[in-house]
Structure 1
Amino acid sequence: MKLLKQRLVLLSPVIILAVVLIFSLTMIPSINPTPTNLPIAVVTEDAGVTLPNQQKLNMGDTIVENIQNANEEDAVHWIEVNSEEEVRDGLNHQDYYAALVIPENFSQKQASLQTQKPSAPEVQILVNQGMNTAAANAASQILNQVVDNVNHNVRTQVLEGFEKQGGTVTTTQASALVTPITKKVVNVNEIGTHSANGNAPVSLFQPIWMGSIIGSVILFLVINRLVFTNRIETLAAKLTQVLVGGVLALLVGFGATWISDNWIGIDIPRFTDTALFLSITYFSFFLMISAILSWIGLRGIPIFILTLFFGAPLLAMAPEFMSDFYREWIYSWLPMRFMVEGLRELFFFDQGLRLNAPTTILLEIGFVSLLVLLASALKPILRTVPEKETVVQTQLDA
């Protein structure tokens, strides 16, 4: 019965419920996510057509106008672009998850549907797979639905035209009216077949993050066991800690890349660039964690564990699928999101290692963390007097 009188045992239900609550909250973002302001581009190069009654028709402009006036409940943010070249450039810069391209001869071919030689116009749906697979698929479904609605409207209008003219529909015309507008779906910045369905950048986050925590804790514990007599020695130890962290970063970066490529089977298009980027990422995380540990000690570990559990579900999601709270107050503050963004460029956008936004921010995090870590050498030195020295001093005082 003594066990039941222990305070920790009595508090265990509260502690366990608190843990269950905390980790249950990590599931909220992934439950029934719905898009908000999902950026989708639309471009019309339709030159229009002049009908026999001298009426000018430009169905491309009409479609764009109808799309932008449609009530999507803020699910989609339609962005009108001037040309297909410009829209492809935007897709490569991760400005849109998908795009609808209406060609130059769209109105001309649509007008031919009421002639004896109908020719169905074709639109392109460009799906930006590498940006985020789930969001790109959602954008693709939205555009497919748009084209299906346009098909229905065009079919109705053409049939009404035939009815007003009192004419009959030939077999060729009937065949064309089954699908009056054809669509060609093209995947750009493709994710390939060995990329964990586009989530390879997210898959690499956990081993790098946990490796950063373990490396930082080991060196922190080693340094804490040493006795320093002045701040110069403390600073030298901190610099050594940084150098060891740099060596670990290279080992982890190249090791994780080799394991992912050869053992796990992830397609690594640029081995050296990926390895160096992971080394930069590890070193940045290592310095950040070491800096916090140097000031508050092992009490900082729960911060990084909770960051892992709260951050991991968000990394696989597009920001447009998050609630305002998670997007503004959690996702925007996650340092690991820059790792995922940088890896996406390396894996899916044919970009080599360069000073892009993710790499620059990771370097800035590392630099600030380095300054904070070195500044901890200025803390007061708590020197423990050895037992023998204390005995000798006591005898001398006597």
Structure 2
Amino acid sequence: MWKVISSKMFWLYAVAVFAVLAIFSFAQIGARNSVELKQLPIAVVNTSGNQQSKKIISQLEDKFSDSDAQLKLINVKKESSLKQGFTDKKYYGALVIDKDFDKSLTSQQNYLKGLVIQAKTKDVPEQAIAANAQLKTQVQAAKTMTQTLPTQAKIRVITNQGMNAQASSVVTTALPKITNALSQGISQKMQGVLKENNITLSTTQWQVINAPIKVTTQTKNKLPNKSVSGMAPMLLVVLSWLSSLIGSILLWREHKKHAENGRFNLSTINSQMITGFVISIVASLSIYFFAHVLFDVPVPDTGSFLLIVTFNIFIFYLIQTCILNWAGFAGWPVLILVMLLSMGVISYPKEMLSPLFLNGIYSWTPLRFTMDWFTNNLYIHGSSVTSTTDFTVLISIGAVALVLIYLSSLLKRKEK
């Protein structure tokens, strides 16, 4: 027993265990604990465009003007532009100020003004009012102002839920909180005036004064039921990477057995490509069966889903085979490391990642493009702009890996 403990290999294994736990902790715990919401793009549409709504937008812009602010407000001229903006994943959410917003606030202010005039003149004799032209005009104006109960000013909060489930949760909480705070601010001012003039309101009147702004919520690209709380794209990335990892290692070992002197030639590499593509098809069909058929994860279009999954698995296969052909089984830990590091960051919006994880991992991992593509396919239909970018990047990475795979045959011949 003491021989094992005192041996160099035992302590080498202990260091290896420490290193693995350190990497795993850094990738999984470190990334999640350092998440901080910053500069999340939110569209603001002012369909009213009058003085009061402009003032409110100006206040919001001042509130989030700092570079460390949680939200980044982006002015959008037309509400019709939001649909394409959500589809292209430009905005995580939006604030839409109703076209009658200023009109409603003005009617509330006039109503309050009328109540104040009525409170101040209620004890004035009618004869005195009739004798004073100015006072008579004020009383008549107050009667007109209070004749109709004012309506609540309206603001809509729209959440682009399919873009990212975690960001959607933040937006769903943050935006109504901001707009409700605006409403409370206006309400407190009006309540102060009422208290100062000893004005008592009915229940119906109080509802408008207590909540001058009505906030409604709306969801775009809504997550379907049984979508694993929006985590289906990330789980598909994990399954795709693991299936290609298992396939690449098994096929690499099998081809190495049949390779002359353990070295790959062009014929062997051609066989790797063909068998790898077949494995990718089998893996994609298996993922579709388990995810959609067995566990009812919604798949909008089976054909496009299978094509995308097969393509991404084969790209992963090329990356992994490239490393295995050049580094052998010693390259296997690198593949595991890529997956561990990537899984800690790709589920979060890039705006929530710290600079360390954003620049150190998110910026280079190919898995984020696959994640984005799966998200488009499952939740955001018609997002051709970002899907085209994902395809371009992944096909470029795959092409480089393919060239290096074939170049590995030359390296082996040179070594011989």
Q: 1:141 aligns with which of 173, 183, 186?
A: 173
Contact map agreement 1:113 1:158 (CA 8 A) in 2:
no
1:391 corresponding residue in structure 2: none
Q: TM-score, normalised by structure 2?
A: 0.84
- Structure with the greater relative contact order (CA < 8 A, sep ≥ 6): 1 or 2? 2
- Contact conserved, 1:133 with 1:197, CA < 8 A, in 2? yes
Other-structure match for 1:38 = 40
Contact 1:129 1:187 in 2 (8 A): yes
2:129 is aligned to: none
User: Which residue in 1 is equivalent to 2:53?
Assistant: 60
CA contact (8 A) 1:228 1:383 kept: no
Question: 1:262 is matched by which residue type in structure 2?
Answer: V
Aligned twin of 1:300: 331
Shift of 1:147: 0.7
Amino acid at match of 2:232: A
Report the Cα distance in structure 1 between the residues aligned to 2:235 and 2:212, rounded to whole angstroms: 43
2:115 paired with 1:105: no
Superposed, 1:156-305 pairs within 5 Å as 156-160=188-192, 169-228=201-260, 234-305=265-336
Distance 1:246 1:270 in 2: 22
- What's the offset of the Cα at 1:294? 1.1
Q: CA deviation at 1:309?
A: 1.4
> Is the 2:319–2:398 contact (alpha carbons within 8 Å) kept by the matching residues of 1?
yes
Deviation at 1:65, TM superposition (A): 0.2
RMSD: 2.3
Q: Are 2:350 and 1:350 equivalent residues in the alignment?
A: no
Closer, same or farther: CA 112–350 of 1 in aligned 2, 3 Å: same
Greater share of helix: 2
Task: Give the paired residue count.
Answer: 373
Select which of 360, 363, 366 maps to 1:332: 363
- Render the CA deviation track for 1:235-254: whole Å, top value 9, x for unaligned: 12211211111111112122
Post-superposition shift, 1:329? 1.5
User: What amino acid sits opposite 2:297 in the alignment?
Assistant: I
CA distance in 2, matches of 1:222, 1:145: 59
Is the CA contact 2:34–2:353 (under 8 Å) kept in the aligned structure 1? no
Is the contact made by 1:113 and 1:173 (CA closer than 8 Å) also made in structure 2?
A: no
Alignment of 1:18-29 (within 5 A): 18-26=19-27, 27-29=29-31
Change beyond 3 A, Cα 1:3–1:163: closer
Contact conserved, 1:273 with 1:352, CA < 8 A, in 2? no
CA contact (8 A) 1:125 1:186 kept: yes
Q: 1:60 to 1:88 in 2, by over 3 A?
A: farther
Give the corresponding residue for 1:341: 372
Q: Which runs of 5+ in 1 are unaligned?
A: 49-57, 385-398
Question: 2:83 corresponds to which residue?
Answer: 88
Structure 2: distance between partners of 1:217 and 1:22: 22
Deviations 1:329-382 (A, max 9, x none): 201111111111001111111238896111222222211111111111212438
Q: Which residue of 2 aligns with 1:16?
A: 17
Identity of aligned residues (%): 24
Residues 40 and 78 of structure 1 are in contact (CA less than 8 Å); yes or no, is this contact kept in structure 2?
A: yes
Alpha-carbon spacing, 1:300–1:11, altered in 2? closer, same or farther (3 Å):
closer
Amino acid in the other structure paired with 1:96: Y
| The one of 69, 72, 76 aligned to 1:74 | 69
Contact 1:274 1:353 in 2 (8 A): no
CA contact (8 A) 1:102 1:123 kept: yes
Q: Could you tell me how far apart the structure 2 residues matched to 1:60 and 1:21 are?
A: 52
1:273–1:353 contact (8 Å) kept in structure 2: no
1:130 alignment partner, SS class: helix
Please give the alpha-carbon distance, in whole angstroms, between the structure 2 residues aligned to 1:18 and 1:376: 30
Query: What is the TM-score with the length of structure 1 in the denominator?
Result: 0.87
Residue-by-residue CA offset, 1:226-272 (whole Å, 9 max, x unaligned): 3449x9x8112211211111111112122211221011221111111
Amino acid at match of 1:85: S
More displaced, 8-17 or 341-350?
8-17
| Counterpart residue number, 2:127 | none
Inter-CA distance 111–164: structure 2 relative to 1 (3 Å threshold): farther
CA distance in 1, matches of 2:410, 2:239: 33
Q: Is structure 2 residue 374 aligned with structure 1 residue 374?
A: no
The residue type paired with residue 24 of structure 1 is S
Asked if the contact 2:315/2:398 (under 8 Å) is kept, the reply is yes
Secondary structure of the residue that 1:326 maps to in structure 2?
Answer: helix
Q: Relative to structure 1, is the Cα distance of residues 292 and 11 closer, same or farther in structure 2, using a 3 angstrom cutoff?
A: closer
Q: Distance in 2 between matches of 1:234 and 1:31?
A: 47
SS at match of 1:265: coil
Provide structure 2 residue ranges, at least 5 long, that are not aligned to the other structure: 112-145
| Contact map agreement 2:259 2:268 (CA 8 A) in 1 | no
1:163 and 1:345 mapped to 2: Cα distance? 54
Q: Separation in 2 of the partners of 1:213 and 1:124? A: 46
| Cα distance in 1 between the residues matched to 2:6 and 2:207 | 83
> 1:388 maps to which residue?
none
Alpha-carbon spacing, 1:382–1:166, altered in 2? closer, same or farther (3 Å): closer
